[in-house]
Each structure stands twice: as structure tokens, then as C-alpha cells.
Chains A and B, each alone.
Chain A
Amino acid sequence: MQPTPPIPTDDEIDAILMPHKGREGPLLPMLHGLQAEYGHIPAPAISRIAHIMNMTRAEVHGVVSFYHDFREKPAGRHVVKICCAEACQSVGGDVMVEETLAKLGLDWHATTPNGALTVEPVYCLGLCACGPAAMVDGKVVGRLDAPRLERILTEAGA
């Protein structure tokens, strides 16, 4: 199992939030900053943002939950995002991906019990002339086939 991450203190959170406070529309940069540091948006950060930005916690939660990128709990140590959009489907990506995930017993959005890997769908990586495409911990991969995807997922800990 993944160790539960330590809960950050208000001071640690503020150190991430405050440099953005004076910017125009600071909330998304703040949330990206938190996620870059902790891998998710820690619950105490919602109250801190609400306090600093003079918003209600509900409003902050509304923003966090609107965007696919922001997580409420940490992802696995590796994140593999696989494109599910039309261009990748046109080269058989959808079928190939579903079969490979089924073979390895992986589910979309889920993290493996060993905490190693999270698999997520993504709608377009801009690699539409060399699909099926994926992004492995921020690194792009094109012209995937089943053996290659299986190798990527297995190496990531599936």
C-alpha cells in the first residue's frame, strides 16, 4: 500500500500560495503549485486558499472539482495517460488499449494496489498523425501497439 502522505502545515501551504497572490487570476497557478508539490490538492489547502482569496470553501472546492487535472488524493508513482480521442481511435487505439488494460487487470482512473501506477484517459495529446499516443510521466509516446503499451505499463509497475 501507498504510505499516507503527511498533512502539510498551513505555513507550508502558504509558502506555495503566497507568491501567486498578487497575480491576476491567481487560483489556477496556486492549484498547479500545490499539485506539483504534493501530487494532489491537500484538503487543508482548500481552507487556506479560501482564507487568502476571500472566497468560501465551497467556491474553492467548486473550482478544484471542475478541472480533470486536480486530484483530491495522490496518484501512483507513475501516471500513464492514454489518448482516447478520435484520431487515436481511427488507428485502432481504443480497442487496443481496452484489451491491454483488461489483460493486465487495470482500470481507468484507478491506482494499482502497490501504489505504482495510475492509468488515465486523456482527450488528445496533439499527436494525431502518429497515434495511438500516450504520455508516460510527462513523456510522449507515439504509434503505440499492444506489446509496447503492455511493456510500458508493466515497467511502470502494473
Chain B
Amino acid sequence: MEKRVLTCIGCPLGCTITVEMDNGEIKSLTGNTCKRGDDYARKEVTHPTRIVTSTVRITEGEIPMVSCKTAADIPKEKIMDIMKCINEATASAPIKIGDVLVENVAGTGVNVIATKDVKAS
């Protein structure tokens, strides 16, 4: 039996939630105050996801970097692989919000898109 201890992010209360798992199956879930805590903990122990935000170096732009994000949430364990791809990427201005900077990043099927407009220099 594996035991996972989480802090709920639903509100400032920050309940400490304890989840007991057996072979990837949730056996018990305790410590939450409300339904949001239950939902959060279930997702967090089975398939935690995050949005990754970073910057991509650009050429011929008014500024040296453009901010970017994954267009959807990605599996948490892929964060560092995604950062490696983002750091290897470059783009050239002009760039509009939503432009794809990295396609199918780290094989996740998710694109990295620009979150800022950048004019050409």
C-alpha cells in the first residue's frame, strides 16, 4: 500500500489530504474538507497535469525573448523534457499571440504557443 500526502490548492485552507493507493487504485482519501479537495487529490495522484510557461529566444524582434505556454495542460512528469525543447527552440519576429513556436512538444501532442505579440525590429 502506497501513501501519498498532498496539500489541496482549492483555497487558502490548504487541507492536508492523505491518499492510500494500491496498484494505482485509490483505496482511501482523507483530510479534505470539501468536494474540491476530493476532486483535486484524485486527479493529482492518478494523472497530475500542469501548464508550462517559459520564454523562447527570438531573432529580429524588438525584444530578445517572447513568452510562451503549452496550449493545454501536459503530464507533470514531462515538464523537464518540455523545457529542454523550449530552450532549444528559436523564433523570428513578427510574432502574434497564439503562434505555434514548438509543435507537438516532447511528443505530448501539445503545441507551445506564444503569449505575447512581438513586432519586428
Q: Do A and B come from one complex?
A: no
